[in-house]
Amino acid sequence: MSTVDTSEFFTAQRDASEIKSQILNDYFRDWCTAILQGQRYKSNHALAYIDLYAGDGKYQDGKPATPVKVLNSIFGATDKFNLNKIVRTFFTDEKPTVTQKLKQNLEALPYYENLIYKPVILNEEVNFSLLAKLLGTDTPALMYTDPFGYTFSQQMLLQSIKRWGLDVFMLFSPAKMRPAILNASENDLLTDIFGVERIAKIKEFCERYQDAGQREDFMVDSFEDIFKEKDYKTFRFKISLPKKNQTSHYLFFVSRTDTAYMKMKELMLTYSDFQEDGVPLFGANIKHQLSLFQEQYRYSIKNLIAELSGKASFYHNLSLDSIYRHHNIGTNYIRGNYLEAFEALKKEGVVESINPISRKPMRKVSFTSIIAYK
């Protein structure tokens, strides 16, 4: 695959493999750094990467796919963390023949023998036991899957929700999601993941409303609620087909840590469309009606200003950066939006920007400013 500018990547139609290869390896490196910085007090670092749709590791043109890219990042890490001593990798695929080819391709890597932790292929019970044992030690893990895919991928997602609390990177298409949910029986793994009551509500909603867009939104919202109820931070990125009002894929990321969530949000910002007020839509090729009236948006600078103006009891005498880190979770707002909002509140006389060292008022708001509500 050729290197494509992130701002142009989704101007062409992309399949799940292309999206994964473009984005996941970049996120994997960011994720490792974020988690390890939070483990600075530990003497023995350990991380796990699990890919349930690994493919055979190569594209038809011979260029490396995600599994090889991830291993390249692990073996070639040159920052302060030696990922070769830290990261355990686990791979499998829906098709056994593909998994076998993957094993061969990974073992053919020139540095394979120098990997401290050899990739584990999850095609045998003993290998899964190794993974389960590792996850039972609360080792931070990043897993890639399609929640509406094959049985083992759904089993792993269910166990993560119930026991492990993994960080999960998911890609799925509405075309795959709709029949999987609507045809789910009481004995299906998908029903265990969603819950009987939630599945019933989705089916009832789809019987009542015929609009495809409303159905899709309700299903995706219901899926996101599964993780919110378990105290996950959830990030959603909607990818529409170029020049069509039709969803191609959803990229979902869930985590229980703020840093992992924010790293994903920062990465996907470079792929996102924006509203005219500078708030990202966190989607690509999103059809939206440009308007002078920002009230139509759930997230807008106007709404952010109004919300922050009433948060004196929460944010008085905190730095702008601290306010951003707390407030942005679960919203579309980014750092620049908070700078603009507090500049507006300063002009309105609602807050003062205080220098954190001299404790004197500042002419302009910055991310180091202490925000003092009047």
pLDDT in tens, 11-45: 999 999 999 999 999 999 999 999 998 776 666 78
Buried b / exposed e along 313-334 (16+ C-beta atoms within 10 A): eebeebbbeebbbebbeebbbb
pLDDT for 138 equals 86
Residue 116 has pLDDT above 60, yes or no: yes
Across residues 305-333, what is the average pLDDT? 96
Across residues 39-62, what is the average pLDDT? 85
Which residues are within 8 A (CB) of 116 and not within 5 positions of it... i.e. 6 or more apart? 84, 85
Lowest-pLDDT range, 78-87, 105-114, 195-204, 353-362? 78-87
**373/368 Cα distance (integer angstroms):** 16
Average pLDDT for the chain: 92
Residue 149 has pLDDT above 90, yes or no: yes
pLDDT digits (tens, 9 = 90+) for 181-190: 999 999 999 9
pLDDT band at 113 (very low <50, low <70, confident <90, very high): very high
Of 42 and 335, which is predicted with more confidence? 335
pLDDT digits (tens, 9 = 90+) for 228-276: 999 999 999 999 999 888 999 999 999 999 999 999 999 999 999 999 8
Residue from 89, 91, 100 nearest 52 by CA: 91
